[in-house]
Amino acid sequence: MLRCFLALLAPLLVAVLAPARAADEARFQLEEIASGVYAHQGETSLMTRENLGGIANLGAIVGDRAVAVIDTGGSLIEGKAFLAALREKTDKPIRYVINTHAHPDHIFGNAAFVGPDVTFVGHKNLPRALAARGEHYLSAFRQIMGDALDGVTIVAPTMLVADSTTIDLGGREIVLQAWKTAHSEADLTVLDKKSATLFAGDLLFLRHVPVVDGSLLGFLDVVDRLAEIKAERVVPGHGPAVAPWPKALEDERAYLMRLTADLRAAIKKGESVKDAAKTAGEEERPKWKLFEDYNARNATAGFAELEWEGP
Amino acid sequence: MSIARTPLLAALLAAALVSSALAQSNAPDPWPSLVTDIFQGREIAIADGAVSLEAPKRAEDAAIVPMTLRFPDPAKVKAATLVIDQNPMPMAASFTFGEKAGVDSIETRVRVNSYTDVHAVAETRDGKLHSEVKFVKASGGCSAPAGKDPDEARANMGKMRYREFKSAIAGKREAQIMIRHPNNSGMQMDQLTRTYTPAHFIDAVEVWQGDELIFKMEGGISLSEDPNFRFTYAPNGAKTMRVVAHDNKGGQFEAKWPIADAS
């Protein structure tokens, strides 16, 4: 009897819940962190159906003639919400969509921005990374996110950055820098010279434990080179929407150094990868969120990388 | 020096086809048909102590899942096979041991594509089969990209490393062989061109101390990038360790190293 009652009620529940979800989208937060520079703070969590994949920080830079969007979110729904929120801030045309790398939480919103006058920009390795991973990402996150993944397509960049490129948005130049394999094989940063704001993509994690999906040693090296960039503030890929520069790098550097030192010691002692993955980096646990989800994975891949070090 | 091939590879490919067909029909357990394809339907004793398998309950990195096979009475073990039931190519590695090799344990790293049973099957010299099974939670290890840095993987292909460790077992030695190879699964489809990166993987490895075989392995795309084997063995006094590896595109890689304090 109760079951029948619930069955009758189900369509009503859907009707009640659907507008609530729409309202959530309308509340997409987009903060002006410097004049003409916007950032959205993602949730520090894994991508789920409930959060619509909205876990990465996103941004936009508005020039006199054009707008550049930096990353688009973890679903088409989030990408559309971002676009709608941006439209409330400016009516200047969006000419560039810059993808800081190939991970789904940063690119799954791309389709919301596709248009005849929009250029998608990425690291020279981004097409290759999307080619190798795109299908897997779509099927893996379909399982996790269900219909929240509807409409997500892989959009390839047409403008590639091999080293460094400057884009003029009209009275406002942004510098795009491609990095060697670090967080991933296709990391790109964006520096707004006018406001001295750096968009670091996932070369910078705050609160969210750093994820190494490229090279541990490469990541450490790139962190040191990033520190030389002259900027006042940074938008990390995960964590608060904005943080002071270059101080924001300190926690991440400490984590990567601890993990590297622990792994090197384990390899020297002749430990196996599975034992090393249980203990390496453990000291850093209290400082980070999602440590349980990523540290042992970082340690496993890092072990396989560091094993090849030396003569 | 060429590596002897056996019909095993054909069986392995046939098993791969059966497995993917099963995956599509959501068949609950591919193991019975794998027994037919890989072991010709022979009887397999379960958990009788001839072989044990150490596998993580949950894989940390689905592309690098360590698996250790142990043999309490290595003199009796002729061969051992590691099967990842739900993988597109379930037979990850099949080892054949030298008669006096005395391999107590062998650890390798594999890709795991979905939640799966993993079987270690040992063949004793009396021709009987023995198994142990573990369940592993992981996903995406095969269809995810093999290489985190494809350029580096290509540049270093075929490089090898050898390490020695103090064995916990009296009279035994422990060593590790590492082979640089992308081990491409052939399963990564380019969403933009709708084409696949061709499979390119180490399919055979032989490890010798002097002129005696320690083990040979036949493997496939379930082995992780940079195939890695850590094993114990009974030293025969030989002064060199030698490895010959072969890939499915005809690549052949050889290396040898002095064995420390060989006596």
Q: Do A140 and B190 touch (CB under 8 A)?
A: no
- Confidence at residue B17, expressed as pLDDT on a 0 to 100 scale: 41
Using CA coordinates, name the residue in chain B closest to A216: B148
Mean pLDDT in residue range A43-58: 97
Spatial separation of the C-alpha atoms in residues B85 and B11, rounded to whole Å:
14
Q: Do A135 and B60 touch (CB under 8 A)?
A: no
Q: Do B144 and A270 touch (CB under 8 A)?
A: no
pLDDT band at B142 (very low <50, low <70, confident <90, very high): low
ipTM for the complex shown: 0.84
Work out the minimum CA distance from B36 to partner chain A, whole angstroms.
30
Spatial separation of the C-alpha atoms in residues B43 and B210, rounded to whole Å:
36
Interface test with B, best of A107, A110, A135 (most B CBs within 10 A): A135
CA distances (Å), origin B253, targets A144, B150, B164, B202, B257: 42, 19, 20, 10, 14
- Confidence at residue B25, expressed as pLDDT on a 0 to 100 scale: 42
Of A140, A156, A185, the CB nearest to B140: A140
Query: Are A124 and A178 in contact, with CB atoms under 8 Å apart?
Result: yes
Share of chain A above pLDDT 70, in %: 91
Spatial separation of the C-alpha atoms in residues A205 and A190, rounded to whole Å:
16
pLDDT band at A284 (very low <50, low <70, confident <90, very high): very high
Q: Do B143 and A139 touch (CB under 8 A)?
A: yes
| Cβ burial B88-124 (10 Å sphere, 16+ → b, else e) | bbbbbbbbbbbeebbbbbbbbbbbbbbebbbbbbbbb
- Confidence at residue B194, expressed as pLDDT on a 0 to 100 scale: 65
Q: Angle at CA A207, nearest 5°, toward A201 and A208?
A: 60
Instruction: Using DSSP bridges, classify how beta strands A173-178 and A188-192 pair: parallel, antiparallel or unpaired.
Output: antiparallel
Q: pLDDT tens-digit profile of A55-99?
A: 999 999 999 999 999 999 999 999 999 999 999 999 999 999 999
Mean pLDDT in residue range A245-253: 98
Give the type of residue at A237. Answer: G
* Dihedral sign, Cα of residue B206, residue B62, residue A143, residue B82: positive
What pTM was estimated for this model as a whole? 0.87
Q: pLDDT tens-digit profile of B222-233?
A: 999 999 999 999
Q: Do B192 and A154 touch (CB under 8 A)?
A: yes
pLDDT band at B188 (very low <50, low <70, confident <90, very high): low
Structure tokens at A283: 């000291």
Q: pLDDT tens-digit profile of A163-178?
A: 999 999 999 999 999 9
Cis ω for the linkage preceding A246 (within 30 of 0): yes
